[in-house]
């Protein structure tokens, strides 16, 4: 195979994974755009319960890949597990199309989504890692483009599902079918993704884990499916009982720390610096996702109650959005900023001037702080408690740049610092840490929960802006911490690269002798 054809092969393989991830994110974010509103407006939940139920669900969605990564690495194979997860996800969204107010039915459907995501998410990311393994600059660039690609799907769904919900509810006045029609669109997205993968599957023939090379073990597959069903039931119970959710988060946090300590203590000396670096960055990611979770909780409810939904410029009306559609600003900014960042990373890498991942994390927290301070000054542009929609545009812009610099490189961080034999499992551990912070984000969002008897926008505006200013200050503190650990990260990275280079040279010598 020539060098040129190898590049084409990697590009095609990368596109195959990116497209199925795009459609999976289409389904997930289409659901996320509506779920808190669904619980508050359709099911009558108060803010506190809606925020905690969704945040507990988000935590489970992020924690479940810890097991899914192991299943992909050791049991069914990376590609097979990814496809099984996509199929289960489509079933979860199909269940949400059933028009019922029964909360146990909703929680069971969300439990199916939790399990499907756990099987899908770590294995899709691990395939990208396998495609570009060994090239740090290309890994950063690939994961940034990957991040942009999946945001294409989330942008479309976040704009589409709220519109479908409103359209159907208006067309069939007196019914609530619009919510379920919107969730049906999420299911269709997953089915399209699976069909697309079937057409392009041959491009991934060279990649996968060791079980992918063997025929499917039906006994192991049956065991996985039985355990998946049990996990659905457990997830539904956790969502219903918030005390269990808190206990689950505490246990998950202890488990992640124990995993890192165990792996660091039992790893080869040459691997420890990289694992410690990954631990430091994972802790920083936990703090980031507390901020991230505000998008679907406090910021979503802020858009509902205190944002003017009319977009205007120089007094000219441009368009009107429903409150749920404001969440689409996040992926829109991601798509605009990702190519620029990918180009900057690649250019800097060629000139040996690439900023370290730790440096990018510090910069990410700084711009997240800017985003929340923008939200915090919303009251200065408010009329009768309703602030300008441009506050949301620029706040999401800063917030999204921070997301690209931190979350967008989280998977690249695992790919860079963690040995390949631990890849899928450590991807899972990274998602567990992210899940813990998703729940904590819901707890933080409840500092801005609005009592049901408070409906005056002037009163609710102060509740939200107070929280946003405090979050801005917290992000500044995180920036300071990230800057303080830069010298440590520099030493760990140099040690990691030194050992990696020595190992590569030793392997080359052995091959030369053979």
Whole-number pLDDT of residue 508: 47
Q: Is the pLDDT reported for residue 4 higher than 60? A: no
> Which pLDDT tens digit goes with each residue over 66-125?
788 788 878 888 888 888 999 999 999 999 999 888 899 999 999 999 999 989 987 887
Would residue 510 count as lying in a domain? no
3-class SS of residue 119:
helix
Q: What is the mean pLDDT of residues 26-45?
A: 92
d(CA 92, CA 119) in angstroms, rounded, equals 13
Would residue 206 count as lying in a domain? yes
CA nearest to 206, candidates 78, 118, 119, 84:
78
Would residue 172 count as lying in a domain? yes
Would residue 4 count as lying in a domain? no
Q: Is the pLDDT reported for residue 346 higher than 50? A: yes
Task: Give the DSSP H or E segment for 254.
Answer: helix 242-266
Would residue 3 count as lying in a domain? no
pTM of the predicted protein model: 0.82
Q: What is the mean pLDDT of residues 389-400?
A: 92
Top pLDDT among 110 and 419 is at: 110
Q: How many helices (H) and strands (E) does the chain have?
A: 18, 2
Contact by Cβ (8 Å): 208, 129: no
> Which pLDDT tens digit goes with each residue over 40-51?
999 999 999 999
Q: Is the pLDDT reported for residue 366 higher than 90? A: yes
Q: Is the pLDDT reported for residue 181 higher than 90? A: yes
Angle at the Cα of 216 (from 213 to 218), degrees rounded to 5? 160
Q: Is the pLDDT reported for residue 148 higher than 90? A: no
Q: Is the pLDDT reported for residue 6 higher than 50? A: no
Whole-number pLDDT of residue 288: 85
Whole-number pLDDT of residue 204: 77
Whole-number pLDDT of residue 5: 44
Place of tokens 């097979």: 80
> Which pLDDT tens digit goes with each residue over 443-496?
999 998 888 888 888 999 999 999 999 999 999 998 998 888 777 767 766 665
CATH number at residue 226: 1.20.1250.20
Q: Is the pLDDT reported for residue 140 higher than 70? A: no
Q: What is the mean pLDDT of residues 353-364?
A: 77
Whole-number pLDDT of residue 15: 80
Q: Which domain holds residue 310?
A: 14-504
Would residue 509 count as lying in a domain? no
Domains in the chain, number? 1
Annotate 139-206 with DSSP letters as a single string: HHHHHHHHHHHHHHHHHHHHHHHHHHHHHHHHHTTT--HHHHHHHHHHHHHHHHHHHHHHHHGGGGTT
Whole-number pLDDT of residue 398: 92
Q: What is the mean pLDDT of residues 253-258?
A: 80
Would residue 23 count as lying in a domain? yes
> Which pLDDT tens digit goes with each residue over 170-179?
888 777 889 9
Whole-number pLDDT of residue 413: 62
Q: Is the pLDDT reported for residue 418 higher than 80? A: no
Would residue 202 count as lying in a domain? yes
Whole-number pLDDT of residue 510: 43
Structure-block tokens of residue 362: 């510090």
> Which pLDDT tens digit goes with each residue over 305-327?
999 888 777 677 777 888 999 99
> Which pLDDT tens digit goes with each residue over 9-26?
677 777 888 888 888 889
Q: Is the pLDDT reported for residue 339 higher than 50? A: yes
Strand partners, 405: none
């Amino acid at each position: 195979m020539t060098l040129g054809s190898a590049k084409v092969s990697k590009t095609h393989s990368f596109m195959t994974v990116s497209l199925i991830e795009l459609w999976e994110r289409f389904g997930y974010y289409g659901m996320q755009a509506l779920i808190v509103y669904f619980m508050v407006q359709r099911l009558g939940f108060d803010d506190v319960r809606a925020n905690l139920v969704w945040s507990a669900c988000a935590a489970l969605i992020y924690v479940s890949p810890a097991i899914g990564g192991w299943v992909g690495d050791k049991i069914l194979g990376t590609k097979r597990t990814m496809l099984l997860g996509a199929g289960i996800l489509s079933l979860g969204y199909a269940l949400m199309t059933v028009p019922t107010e029964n909360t146990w039915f909703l929680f069971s459907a969300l439990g199916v989504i939790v399990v499907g995501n756990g099987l899908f998410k770590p294995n899709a990311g691990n395939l990208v890692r396998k495609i570009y393994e060994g090239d740090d600059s290309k890994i950063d660039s690939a994961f940034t483009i990957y991040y942009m690609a999946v945001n294409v799907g989330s942008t479309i769904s976040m704009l589409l599902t709220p519109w479908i919900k409103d359209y159907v509810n208006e067309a069939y006045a007196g019914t609530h079918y619009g919510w379920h029609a919107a969730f049906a669109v999420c299911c269709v997205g997953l089915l399209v993704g699976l069909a697309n993968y079937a057409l392009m599957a041959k491009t991934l023939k060279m990649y996968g884990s060791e079980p992918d090379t063997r025929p499917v073990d039906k006994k192991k597959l049956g065991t996985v499916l039985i355990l998946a069903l049990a996990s659905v039931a457990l997830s539904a119970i956790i969502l219903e009982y918030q005390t269990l959710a808190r206990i689950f988060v505490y246990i998950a946090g202890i488990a992640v720390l124990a995993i890192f300590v165990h792996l660091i203590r039992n790893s080869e000396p040459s691997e420890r610096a990289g694992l410690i670096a990954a631990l430091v960055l994972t802790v920083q990611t936990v703090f980031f996702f507390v901020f991230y979770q505000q998008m679907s909780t406090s910021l979503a409810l802020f858009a509902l109650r205190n944002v003017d939904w009319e977009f205007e410029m120089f007094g000219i009306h441009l368009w009107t959005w429903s409150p749920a559609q404001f969440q689409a600003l996040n992926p829109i900014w991601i798509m605009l900023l990702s190519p620029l960042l990918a180009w900057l990373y690649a250019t800097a890498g060629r000139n040996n001037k690439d900023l370290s991942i730790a440096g990018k994390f510090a910069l990410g927290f700084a711009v997240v702080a800017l985003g929340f301070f923008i939200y915090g000054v919303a009251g200065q542009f408010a009329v009768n408690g309703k602030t300008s929609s441009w506050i949301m545009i620029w706040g999401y812009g800063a917030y999204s740049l921070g997301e690209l610099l931190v979350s967008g490189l989280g998977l690249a961080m695992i790919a860079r610092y963690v040995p390949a034999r631990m890849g899928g499992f450590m991807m899972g551990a990274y998602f567990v840490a992210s899940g813990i912070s998703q729940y904590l984000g819901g707890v933080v969002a409840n500092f801005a929960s609005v009592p049901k008897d408070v409906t005056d926008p002037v009163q609710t505006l102060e509740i939200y802006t107070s929280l946003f200013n405090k979050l801005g200050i917290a992000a500044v503190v995180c920036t300071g911490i990230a800057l303080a650990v830069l010298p440590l990260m520099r030493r760990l990275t140099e040690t990691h690269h030194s050992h990696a280079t020595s190992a590569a040279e030793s392997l080359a010598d052995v091959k030369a002798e053979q």
